[in-house]
Amino acid sequence: MKSKSLIAASAALWMAFCFLCSPAFSVTQSSFKGKVVVVVSPHGTDYLEGAGAIIATMIQDGATVYLVRVSNDEKHGYLLPVNQVRVQSYDEGNRAAAIMGFKQVIDLNLKDGEVTDVPEPELRERLAAIYRKLAPTTLVTADPWALYDPDLDDQRVARAAVDACWNASSRTFYPELPVIEGPTHFQNIYDRYFWTTNGGIHPENEYFNVTETLPKELQALETMQTAMSAEMSLAQARRSGETSLSNQPANTAAIHAYVEQRYGRAASKLGRRHAAEYAQAIYHYAGSAGTEQFIRTLAYEKKNPPPSIALPKLMRVEKGDGRVVLILAPDFPSLIQNAGGTAVQLHQAGFVVDAVILTNQGKDGNAGSTAAAVLANQTEDKNAAAILGIRRVLHLSFEQGQIADIPATVVREQLLWILRSENPETVILPDPWIRYINWEEVLLGRIAADAIFHMTNAATGQEQQEVTTTVRPVTKILYWENNAENSGNTAANAAVDVTSSESQKKQSLSALHAWLGLQALLPQKASLSRDTHFSGVPDDFTAEDKAEGKRVAVPYAEVFHQVEP
């Protein structure tokens, strides 16, 4: 299905999209001599993988750099016992930090893979205390706005790190901290650098010549043997489709070759584009940037207009041969509208298609009570699923409209059970990085992406370990783009021709009488009635499929952002 070319096209597309609102892409002209830099890393290897050589350049240039490691990395050993991984990662991380030349390493020791459940005000306060004590001039951390980074910990830590910049600068926040720590001369950190990892996409507007400092990054990464061995094991499993992962650490030579190939080659490729042996790129947010940088930005954009937005490419639906596709949705109408035609195409090609509905759909209908709405919708879901060729529907039955109150890890554990037992090759779900959509779709998309990210890791959901040791990694994710036109999002890189299955989409939607009864009343602003019944399909149901079809020269299409996890 040409997935690699689609991913490359998508990355280029997003770089073009983000280019319009970012500074010029140019070599850094800043001097870091005398600056105080704080690096906030969600996990022990993140800062190395995202910006290791850049940070080493700052240190070489004369900056005093502190490393804040937020999590304990206990889940970065895959099949190894978490206690063993925690101890090994701590020792290896300290050796890596010594190679880099940090002034000090500060460990918050939060539980790896579960930072998303830590209240954000608590995390901000801990970081604000560090900022006030160190009074840094520069922050380096993960990009909290990076698209398609599946690790929930990254977003939570990065967002808290950025928010803490302002929180720490105001005495109205945490008035007890100066009393405990003494007077502070800290001001807001306007100079910020953001990296992204795990396949995330974000704008990069500044590059560093890291020819002299890349060896330090690579040496530090090689020191992180536990995490690198796990990363290599997972990469091998994804390439070969193995049913189990090795829990034996890789030898030193193998780790060296892997680090050189993955990180050294990328730096070499970027370096060739900028007349350097090795280079690394990063997003530099300069909140206090002066007129000079603004003028450079305008001049660069005038000479280098962004490339045109690419169109999604039609996917060829290959023979399924009994392989499993799992569709995740907050409710069944959302599934039909955004992926119903694709479900039909996959079923007809020989795939086994199953569906997971996150909520109980108790608010969708006029049955007179939540319980009656739940019963009606879940019964009708199965009727609609049969029309689409979906084998079975699994209802998790979380209270509709209240998913935000449930800890993300609770939802993730439920999804992990299903992913590990279903062992799907492909997962289809809402795109949580689309703007202006239902918040429960965003939550489902982010948590499900995190579950896919963790599903081969026996340290996550340890009670599921017997299932985990035989699980195969998901090889393809299709994020559907609900409301893409209104959100201005143009991330779609794949499309499915659903012309032949559009009638089945309509037929399946017409089976959802309870939901349609509610929809019929909303435009009329009528009072809700218990006996309202409506079996028609909304007139504009096919409008989006028609619009997407025009983009790829077919009558009807469903579009997705396709990634390989």
| Residue 189 and residue 39 in contact, taking contact as beta carbons nearer than 8 Å | no
Distance between CA atoms of residues 42 and 159, nearest Å: 11
Report phi then psi at 8, rounded to 5.
-60, -40
- Give the Cα separation of 526 and 520 in Å (integer): 9
Q: Which candidate, 460, 471, 360, 472, places its Cα nearest to that of 410? A: 460
Q: Does domain 24-288 have CATH number 3.40.50.10320?
A: yes
Q: How many alpha carbons fall within 13 Å on the CB side of residue 523?
A: 7
Cβ atoms 224, 230 nearer than 8 A: no
| Distances 515 to 378, 392, 472, 504 between C-alpha atoms, Å | 11, 20, 36, 17
* Closest CA relative to residue 544, chosen from 500, 491, 502: 502
Which pLDDT score is estimated for 458? Answer: 78
Give the count of alpha carbons within 13 A of 258, CB side only: 22
Written as one letter, the residue type at 478 is L
The whole-angstrom distance between residue 337's C-alpha and the CA centroid of its chain comes to: 23
- Closest residue by Cα to residue 457 from 75, 19, 106, 167: 75
Which pLDDT belongs to residue 11? 46
- CB burial readout 24-63, b (16+ within 10 A) else e: bbeebeeebeebbbbbbbbbbbbbbbbbbbbbbbbbebeb
Those residues whose C-beta lies under 8 Å from the C-beta of residue 371, and which sit 6 or more positions away, are: 362
Q: Chain centroid to CA 81: how far?
A: 26
> Are 100 and 60 within 8 A, CB to CB?
no
- CA dist list (Å): 542 to 401, 464, 504, 556: 26, 42, 12, 8
3-state helix, strand, coil in the chain (%, to 5): 45, 15, 35
The pair of structure tokens assigned to 293 is 């940088």
d(CA 389, CA 480): 19
| Interacting residues of 461 by C-beta distance below 8 A, sequence separation 6+ | 413, 416, 417, 420, 454, 468
Asked whether the beta carbons of 110 and 525 are under 8 A apart, the reply is no
**In the chain, which residues fall in CATH 3.40.50.10320?**
24-288, 313-563
Q: At residue 286, what are phi and psi to the nearest 5 degrees?
A: -110, 90
Q: Are 368 and 331 in contact (CB under 8 A)?
A: no
DSSP-assigned beta bridge partners for residue 124: none
Distance from C-alpha of 496 to C-alpha of 341, rounded to nearest angstrom:
8
Could you give phi then psi for residue 306, rounded to 5 degrees? Answer: -65, 150
pLDDT at 186: 73
Q: Which residues of 134-146 are buried (b: 16+ CB within 10 A; e: fewer)?
A: bebbbbbbbbbbb
Q: How far apart are the first and last CA of the chain?
A: 15
Distance, CA of 200 to CA of 388 (rounded, Å): 33
Helix (H) / strand (E) containing 165 = helix 152-169
Residue type present at position 379? T
Which amino acid, residue 482?
N
Cβ–Cβ < 8 Å for 195, 51: yes
CA 39/CA 138 separation, integer angstroms: 9
Interstrand relation of 279-286 and 206-209 (parallel, antiparallel or unpaired): antiparallel
Joined tokens for residue 335:
């599934």
Q: What is the DSSP letter of 399?
A: P
Q: What pLDDT was estimated at residue 3?
A: 41
pLDDT at 533: 45
Report the length, in residues, of the chain: 565
Between CA 167 and CA 128 the distance in angstroms is 7
The answer to whether the beta carbons of residues 343 and 310 sit under 8 Å apart is no
Alpha carbons 426 and 541: distance in angstroms, whole number: 26
The pLDDT assigned to 411 comes to: 95
Quick one: CA torsion of 221, 225, 228, 229, rounded to 10 degrees?
160
Compute mean pLDDT per 10 residues along the chain, 565 residues long, and list them: 43 44 47 94 97 97 97 87 92 97 97 93 94 93 94 95 90 76 72 94 90 97 94 80 63 93 94 91 78 64 62 91 96 94 97 96 75 88 96 94 92 94 95 86 94 87 70 91 65 92 92 76 44 57 87 93 88
Burial of 421 (0-12, 13-18, 19+ CB in 10 A): exposed
Angle at 448 between CA 443 and CA 450, to 5 degrees: 100
Q: Which CATH architecture has domain 313-563?
A: 3-Layer(aba) Sandwich (3.40)
- pLDDT given for residue 6 in this prediction: 44
